[in-house]
C-alpha cells in the first residue's frame, strides 16, 4: 500500500470526525479511537487544528484519488469508527455510504456490534 501523505491523513481524519459527530453524541470510545489513529499516523499535536479546518468536500475529493488498497484501508477505519461506541447510528452509516459512493470505495458497510 502507498504511504499516506500528511494531507491524506488529514482528509481521512476529517471524515472520521464527521462520523463521530453524525449522531449528535461524542462518545469517549470514539475520541479514544480517533486519538489512537492520530498516534498511529504519527500526526503532530497541532494537526487537530488542520483536521477541524479541513473542508469535508475537499477531503472527499482527496480520498477519491486514493488507490484501491488505500480506499479499502479507509473503509475499515470508517467501519471501526461507526461500531466503536457499540451503537450503529443511521447517520453514521449514511456518511459511510456517501463517502463510498463518491470515492468509489468497493466495500459495503457490514460490521456488527
Q: Is the pLDDT of residue 1 over 60?
A: no
Structural domains present in the chain: 6-103 (1.10.3680.10)
DSSP string, 31-58: HHHHHHHHHHTT--TTHHHHHHHS-HHH
Smallest CA-to-CA distance from 14 within 22, 24, 3, 25 is with: 22
- pLDDT tens profile 20-69: 999 999 999 999 999 999 999 999 989 999 999 999 999 999 999 999 99
pLDDT at 112: 75
pLDDT at 38: 96
Amino acid at each position: 500500500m502507498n504511504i499516506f501523505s500528511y494531507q491524506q491523513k488529514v482528509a481521512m481524519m476529517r471524515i472520521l470526525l464527521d462520523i463521530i459527530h453524525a449522531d449528535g453524541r461524542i462518545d469517549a470510545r470514539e475520541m479514544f479511537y480517533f486519538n489512537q489513529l492520530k498516534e498511529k499516523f504519527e500526526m503532530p499535536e497541532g494537526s487537530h487544528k488542520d483536521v477541524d479546518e479541513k473542508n469535508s468536500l475537499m477531503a472527499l475529493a482527496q480520498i477519491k484519488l486514493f488507490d484501491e488498497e488505500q480506499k479499502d484501508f479507509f473503509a475499515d477505519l470508517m467501519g471501526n469508527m461507526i461500531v466503536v461506541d457499540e451503537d450503529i447510528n443511521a447517520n453514521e452509516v449514511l456518511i459511510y455510504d456517501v463517502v463510498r459512493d463518491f470515492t468509489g470505495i468497493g466495500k459495503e458497510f457490514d460490521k456488527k456490534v
